Amino acid sequence: MKILEIKDLCKSFGKTDVLKGVSFSMEQGEVLSILGSSGSGKTTLLRCINFLEKADKGEILVEGETIFSGENSDKISASEIRKAQLNFGMVFQSFNLFPQYSALENVTLAPLLHAKKSPDYKQNKKKIKEEIIAEGKEILARVGLLDKLNNYPCELSGGQQQRVSIARALALKPKILFFDEPTSALDPELTGEILKVIKDLAKQNITMVIVTHEIGFAKNVSDKIIFMDNGVIAEEGTPQEVIDNPKNERTKAFLNLVTQKE
């Protein structure tokens, strides 16, 4: 069964049509990279899937179950949206860490709040909290930040902050992890550490969607590549197909432009 299916997603802001019918699907454990020039709708696509924007039309299915449908999108309640959002994790270009919390607190905040809803929370409060904190430490260790648990975001480098934000998303064990240009806000010498973390996650069979301009990285880590242009998918396929032998003129032009810069 497909872990994610996107069907004919459309979104406009006022008169600008930003997504003009985007469809794709993913298997469990797959890594999908989305390429495309600035303004082609990549961020909007991720935001619609993560319920940060409401798509005008189309459907989103997770493991065969419809979690969003443009037909009755007005009827979906806030709590249904929150439940659907928990299928996904999101890593933002600008990190969006909570500045008043330490690295560990950033990671454990949401799991601790969600734990309050579990029926045995009152009896096992202490044990549940300890487990979540231990797990938070373990996740931060996985992204190489065991020595920064108690540091605040302002005390961390950009690369470290982005690793905390990846850990924060992982802590809720999402079925699919989305990255929106995770290295674009970083100095070139710091992008490597983030790409390494993402590569490690790919090895652990975590399903991921990565919007990136790092062509070499995308080719290396992805099972599938989508090239977006002007609100539609212009080309999709394996890295060999899309990056090495692009058929679409826009894809070719884009790849030429990006590889020239590199």
Partner 1 sequence: MSIFITVTLSLLEGLLTTFKIFGLTLLMALPLGLIISFGSMSRFAVVKWPIKTLIWIIRGTPLMLQLIVFGFGPGLIGINGMDTFVAVMIAFVLNYACYFSEIFRGGIESIPKGQYEAGAVLGLTKTQVFFKIILKQVIKRIVPPMSNEFLTLVKDTSLANTIMIYEITWNAKRFMNSEHILWPLFYSGVFYLAFCGVLTLIFGYIEKKLDYYKG
Ligand X SMILES: Nc1ncnc2c1ncn2[C@@H]1O[C@H](COP(=O)(O)OP(=O)(O)O)[C@@H](O)[C@H]1O
Task: Please tell me whether residue 135 adopts helix, strand or coil conformation.
Answer: helix
Q: Which of 24, 51, 217, 227 binds partner 1 (CB under 8 A)?
A: 51
Residue of 33, 40, 43, 108 interacting with Mg ion (CB under 5 A): 43
Tokens of 160: 């470290």
- Report the nearest approach of partner 1 to the CB of residue 245 (Å): 36
What token pair was written down for 164?
């905390």
Instruction: State which of positions 84-113 bind partner 1 (CB under 8 A).
Output: 85-86, 88-90, 92, 94, 96-100, 109-110, 113
Query: Distance of CA 206 to CAs 30, 174, 201, Å?
Result: 7, 9, 6
Residue 42, interface with ligand X (CB under 6 A)?
yes
Q: Which stretch binds ligand X (CB under 6 A): 23-31, 33-41, 86-94, 192-200?
A: 33-41
Q: Applying CB under 6 A, which part among 36-44, 115-123, 131-139, 243-251 lies near ligand X?
A: 36-44
Q: What is the CA radius of gyration of the chain?
A: 19
Comparing CB distances to partner 1, the nearer of 176 and 215 is: 176
The reply to whether 72 sits near ligand X by the rule CB under 6 A is no
Written as six digits, the tokens of 78 are: 């806030």
The reply to whether 15 sits near ligand X by the rule CB under 6 A is no
SS3 assignment, position 92: coil
Q: Give CA–CA dist 61/100, Å, rounded.
A: 36
Q: Does 154 bind partner 1 (CB under 8 A)?
A: yes
Distance set, CA 193 to CA 75, 77, 124, 197, 236 (Å): 43, 39, 38, 6, 27
Mapped onto helix, strand or coil, the DSSP state of residue 233 is: strand
Q: Which of residues 3, 6, 9, 18 is near ligand X by CB under 6 A? A: 18
Q: Does 247 engage in binding with partner 1 (CB under 8 A)?
A: no
DSSP code for 215: H
From ligand X, partner 1, Mg ion, none, which one binds at residue 217 (CB under 5 to 8 Å depending on kind)? none
Q: Shortest Cβ distance from residue 20 to Mg ion (Å)?
A: 17
d(CA 1, CA 65) in angstroms, rounded, equals 11
Binding site for ligand X (CB under 6 A): 13, 16, 18, 36, 38-44
